[in-house]
A and B are shown apart, each in its own frame.
Chain A
């Protein structure tokens, strides 16, 4: 960042001048960040800290681990596993579906890309609730898809597409796909097509050029999309509640149940804290492997 300032050389080429300028700049940036930091502090750090404290307070008001001890019960273990299972499947699915779409968009003419982009973004602007109900209409036993399949003679009996794991996954995939496509697209747009031409002129087949040149260059977008989709799916509530048919329970639903069932906030806080800790651990591990922090300007 300091190189920007150095572009205007001072009258005296004094080294300490640069040091001062750097410090001054650092301070002014810090000052600019204060309002943002205050908002984050008030709306994020304070409540999360409070949650953390609450999770260690037992029913009788004393410090205890009872809220965490409860989490060993089967219902929480099953829910925890289900939550990460769904998040994993949805992330994988959105990569498989989203990458080709983003690739296509990046290769189209700007005009055509803009039109296609509308189709990606439009659902993004539609209420999740509306989209979820729409899936219910499509997927249910006497819904469109099953009716067609039966009348075409492909199946004899309607197949269970909703009120189960499959329905939940389909619904979540639909909601989260734009979060994969948009970062992928923006990183693919920055890839210079001359690199691919260079690869071809060196004798690479289109396939080889894609895998050796294009794909590695699109990785920042892929990582950003993966992290976004994975983290967002961990906190899903509405879609599994409506499309899971009561058989799919995700962590956020258990938090809601705990808030309404238990007489203190500690029980629900413990669930929140555990999810937060595990999520941070996963992010840290991903970071070690993929150096995701580079995307955000880390060195």
Chain B
């Protein structure tokens, strides 16, 4: 699950229905040679298009049509209809991994590329990550005097009193709980769900809110509804730039990734694949460092193509100094175990 959060679930369902309807329209209606890219809405999308999609399309001389999808279910509906209207979709890592296991995507061969340095967890046989996002620890400096340094501090209500908020989704929250409980960064996966839930139950009296959208998480820390929060880096930095008494750190942050895939049967599949490969090329990936604060390129070679200022590198979550502090999320684990973990997590927070 990427920083999808602008789309409330309800809107998502509307989009699914829309997807179902548009999939039924005759292909003639969309007989245009543009490659249709479907992603999430919001500010993230603007940055994503400006940094990756448009430069890549320009390089290849492709015309792009932008649309908004309703997560994996909407893509599933389109593929099942046999004539998906979208040629390239931008999703969260676990959704790409899940889509691959369901056979929803066209194969995407990265083996021919020699200038790609993407971790094995962030690519599949039919998808590839495009950008990193981070889940970080943020706090109100007017309430929390001493900066917390780890999730163990976040869990320590005595030393760091205050109301907390974490995501209402199991993904990312279970990881945080395990790190707080003392699991080593490199021993995180496979996740010990039982242990994570026990840790969450321990902290529950301190958790004021389990947030469900990115916008909500921003509001919670901005308005001081909570004092400490696990939040997307891209969602907290605007609050800090706004002058609110908030600080965050990449220490023990989680590096998750957005990814792209070509839905099976897409009309412009060949062009979409070219576009996908161009988007992960080092030159294009480097745009993320320059234009998308608190995101980062997945292709490590992007750091070699140009000179970047120390400020740019400090604000890029996958830059060597920041990446070293963080843990990479394993999308494949979530694709396989997400359903059960999610239900167990929901039971734990509702009880």
Contacts and interface: CB of A to CB of B under 8 A. Distances in A.
B225 A238 contact: no
A141 B225 CA distance: 5
A79 B350 contact: yes
A247 B349 contact: yes
Interface string B86-116: 0000000000001000100000000000000
Given A142-B225, A163-B208, A249 B350 contact: yes
A282 to B, nearest CB: 23
A121 interface: no
A82 to B, nearest CB: 8
B351 A74 contact: yes
Interface string B204-229: 00001111100010010001110000
Interface stretch (A5-13, A16-24, A181-189, A253-261): A253-261
Interface in A251-270: 253, 256-257, 259-263
A260 B71 contact: yes
Contacts of A259: 13, 16, 73
B9 A253 contact: yes
Interface in B304-349: 338-339, 342-344, 346-347, 349
Contacts of A247: 210, 349-350
A257 B338 CA distance: 12
A260 B12 contact: yes
A203 interface: no
Contact of A78 (B209, B224, B351): B351
Interface in B63-103: 71-73, 76, 98, 102
Given A78-B351, A260-B71, A262-B339, A140 B225 contact: yes
B161 interface: no
Interface string B8-27: 11101100100000000000
Contacts of B225: 140-142, 163
Contacts of B125: none
A289 B219 CA distance: 47
B208 A245 contact: yes
Contacts of B338: 261
Contacts of B8: 238, 241
A260 B208 contact: no
Nearest to A140: B225
A261 B171 CA distance: 12
A252 to B, nearest CB: 9
Nearest to A136: B219
B346 A75 contact: yes
A246 B349 contact: yes
Contacts of B346: 75, 249, 257
Nearest to A265: B73
A73 B351 CA distance: 12
Contacts of A75: 343-344, 346-347, 350
Contacts of B219: 136
A246 B224 contact: no
B212 to A, nearest CB: 6
Contact of B9 (A140, A141, A249, A256): A256
B261 to A, nearest CB: 15
Interface string B165-207: 0001000000000000000000000000000000000000000
Given A78-B351, A141-B163, A260-B73, A246 B211 contact: yes
Contacts of A245: 208-211
Nearest to A254: B346
Contacts of B98: 263
Contacts of B163: 141
A237 interface: yes
B13 A256 contact: yes
B16 A263 contact: no
A160 interface: yes
Contacts of B223: 140-142
Contacts of A163: 208-209, 225
Contacts of B9: 237, 241, 253, 256-257, 260
Contact of A256 (B10, B102, B210, B349): B10
Interface of A: 73-75, 78-79, 82, 136, 140-142, 160, 163, 237-238, 241-242, 245-247, 249, 253, 256-257, 259-263
22 contacts: A75-B343, A136-B219, A141-B208, A141-B223, A160-B208, A163-B209, A237-B10, A238-B8, A242-B216, A245-B208, A245-B209, A245-B211, A246-B209, A246-B211, A253-B9, A256-B9, A256-B12, A257-B346, A259-B13, A259-B16, A260-B9, A261-B339
6 closest Cβ pairs, A-B complex: A246-B210, A246-B168, A245-B209, A75-B347, A74-B347, A256-B9
Given A74-B347, A82-B350, A241-B8, 13 more contacts: A75-B343, A75-B347, A136-B219, A141-B163, A238-B10, A246-B209, A246-B210, A256-B10, A256-B13, A257-B346, A261-B338, A261-B342, A263-B76
